[in-house]
Structure 1
Amino acid sequence: MPSPHRRTHATALIAAATLLAAACGGSSGSTEAETRTDDGHYPVTVENCGHEVTLESEPTDVVMLKSAVVPFLTSVGVLDHVSAKAGVYPDGYFTDETAQQIADIDTLTDRVDASGHLLISKEAVVERDPGLVLGQTDNLSHASLDEVGIPSLEASGLCTSNLPEPGFQQIYDEVEMYGQVFNREDEADEAVADLKQRVEEITSTVTKGERTGAVLYPTVGGGTTYAYGNKSMTDPMLEAAGIENVFGDQDERVFEVTLETLLAKDPDVLVLLHSEGAPQEVEQAVTNLPGAESLTAVREEAVHTELFNFAEPASPLAVDGLERLIDELGDGS
């Protein structure tokens, strides 16, 4: 729990930032969240990325920094608790209703760098005096926000330390955590039951064949290509689809990979992730590389392009991603 001097520090920063915003004609806005009667549920302490995070009451005026947290919020019915967002939220992830809800949330910034990482100042978040921040950046880490008395949670699949074992159980556990945080445990239990049933149905016809695959994040326009190892959600996703990850021996979430290494591994299937841009351009970022035509996946046209959050990090969207992967590339039978 934040100490009194930290909250005092936070108040001073917020006051200064609010005066600055007022001078510039800005406003912080507020959420009209539907809250529950506190029946002794709070305070609640949850574990996240190796940190204990304590919530003294149901968090409102939540600031959301990553699209990856949206499916957790919708799973337990608390997207209305978010009063401000930052980053990019592609329509392709969400239902029309959810996309409209997101569009109606105040935007702090949608600036990202070439790798898709959010560019935002600490002051822009602190001035909102949020009850909770969801998602973290280099300058908005757990420690940085804790200094000013603001609790924060990161998507567990993006933890830089204490990364949990990736898999569908990780998703179920995180939905349950959000149920605790927002006093929506019954909703979380129902959401988890639905997800488990969907995974069972989606994988019921999958046969573990001899297909191999790789999940890549290419840079459109030239640059570094990244691959995903056994610390990412893509590894259990491929396994659930009956595909062996050729980089499953890499004890990393994501790492740089060369075309030479990819040619040596020669996967039967390629899954290409992207955060924005046209899927065709993403595919060409790999298929147009000199020598890429020698890859089995390219020759056999077994290349599946997908929006990033359908595979990474672990979230309910990964269940949709698994279904889309099997629909596109088959179940191995």
Structure 2
Amino acid sequence: MKLTTVSIAAMGILMAVAASAAPTEYPLTIDNCGHEIRFDGPPENVVSIGQAATEVLYALGAEDRMAGTSLWFNEVLPRFAKADAGVERIADNMPSFEAVVNKRPGFVPTMFEWMIGPQGVVGTREQFANLGIPTYVMPPDCEGKDNLVGADGTRLAPFDIATVYKSIDQMATIMDRQDRGAELVAELKTREADAVKRAETLDLPDASAVVWFSSADLELDPYVAGRKGIPAWMLDALGLRNVIESDEEWPTVGWESIARADPSVIVIARMDRRRFPADDHEKKLEFLKSDPVTSQMTAVKEDRIVILDAEAMHASIRLIDGLETLTEAMEALPR
């Protein structure tokens, strides 16, 4: 295999960051979303709530210390299939408090604060703390965000990808996998920069988009990406304007309003989860092409619809996959 100058340089960076990673010194105390969590050693029987947290742990090579996973949107990445096969999936969606604590976890990380925050959909942090179980919320879902406003929270500040890298760094430190964490962050940063550079060449003057995640019912208003969230960051990197002006993470907006904005591109989520009919991207496509309102939108008529994995719209290691996929799709769309 012939290595380019860029790939050789990237390998050098990865080797350097790996060599500089030092083992974790315990006891370890971390401030997480206003809560102090302490570890006396590398945690065992980890139970993750959310695919983003799970795949970070797999990327860190920590599957040998995991007792369960839950809350999946897409199938596991192929490179993690072997790791995933050895860890029990205690729930495809939200697990019960009992299902989590029955695994006697030494650590419960989640991708969404509302799973273990004041709302306590699974259980509150206090409930877990009373049992001596440290919980962790990935920073993208608590920093610059109020999760008590709106169904999925409201962004007080635009999403910052640095919070994803912070999540990886902190989870790597907790699990004593700093070398793997440093390699992963360096790789993702390099790919991010490459994707953004490619996007800069697209030259999309006044192009706009809407990102449709799902709908509780196809006859109801869809859940679409707000203007300060993760998909909005992706669109901005590509030079696309999000037509949704809400600061909520995933607000419901009527199709009539979206049609009036007439976005240049429609991005729809593909997922394996089946909570709602619109979780099926084929159902989304069928709706867009048959509904009397949506079928008249320019993006539908001109087939400017991009399909993206749902997990690539979350603050996960797949976010960069999504950025790359969206860049490739934009390059291929008719103009």
Which TM-score band (shorter chain)? 0.7 to 0.9
1:173 match: 166
Quick one: distance in 2 between partners of 1:156 and 1:40?
20
Shift of 1:142: 2.2
1:57 match: 41
Match among 102, 118, 137 for residue 84 of structure 2: 102
Cα 1:94/1:244, change in 2 over 3 Å: same
Cα 1:301/1:78, change in 2 over 3 Å: same
Aligned ranges 1:109-120 → 2 under 5 Å: 109-110=91-92, 112=93, 118=94, 120=95
- Report % sequence identity: 25
Unaligned runs of 5+ in 1: 1-37, 113-117
2:255 paired with 1:259: yes
Quick one: distance in 2 between partners of 1:244 and 1:331?
19
Moved more, 54-63 or 207-216: 207-216
2:291 match: 289
Quick one: distance in 2 between partners of 1:224 and 1:50?
34
2:232 match: 235
Match among 72, 79, 87 for residue 88 of structure 1: 72
Quick one: distance in 2 between partners of 1:281 and 1:181?
41
Contact 1:267 1:296 in 2 (8 A): yes
Cα 1:171/1:39, change in 2 over 3 Å: closer
Contact 2:73 2:271 in 1 (8 A): no
TM-score between both structures, scaled by the size of structure 1: 0.77
TM-score between both structures, scaled by the size of structure 2: 0.77
Contact 1:218 1:285 in 2 (8 A): no
Contact 2:271 2:280 in 1 (8 A): no
Unaligned runs of 5+ in 2: 1-21, 148-154, 273-278
Q: Counterpart of 1:204 in 2: which secondary structure?
A: helix
Could you give the per-residue CA deviations for residues 108-163 of structure 1, whole angstroms, max 9, x where no partner exists?
233x4xxxxx2x32112112110011223513232332232211122333447477
Partner amino acid, structure 1, of 2:129: D
Partner amino acid, structure 2, of 1:183: D
Shift of 1:266: 1.2
Quick one: distance in 2 between partners of 1:47 and 1:150?
15
Could you give the per-residue CA deviations for residues 49-89 of structure 1, whole angstroms, max 9, x where no partner exists?
33222222111110122112133213322233211123336
Q: Counterpart of 1:298 in 2: which secondary structure?
A: helix
Quick one: distance in 2 between partners of 1:188 and 1:107?
24
Aligned ranges 1:115-126 → 2 under 5 Å: 118=94, 120-126=95-101
Q: Counterpart of 2:251 in 1: which secondary structure?
A: strand
2:314 paired with 1:318: no
2:243 match: 246
2:306 paired with 1:309: no
1:68 match: 52
Q: Counterpart of 1:256 in 2: which secondary structure?
A: coil
Quick one: distance in 1 between partners of 2:227 and 2:287?
24
CA RMSD in angstroms comes to 2.5
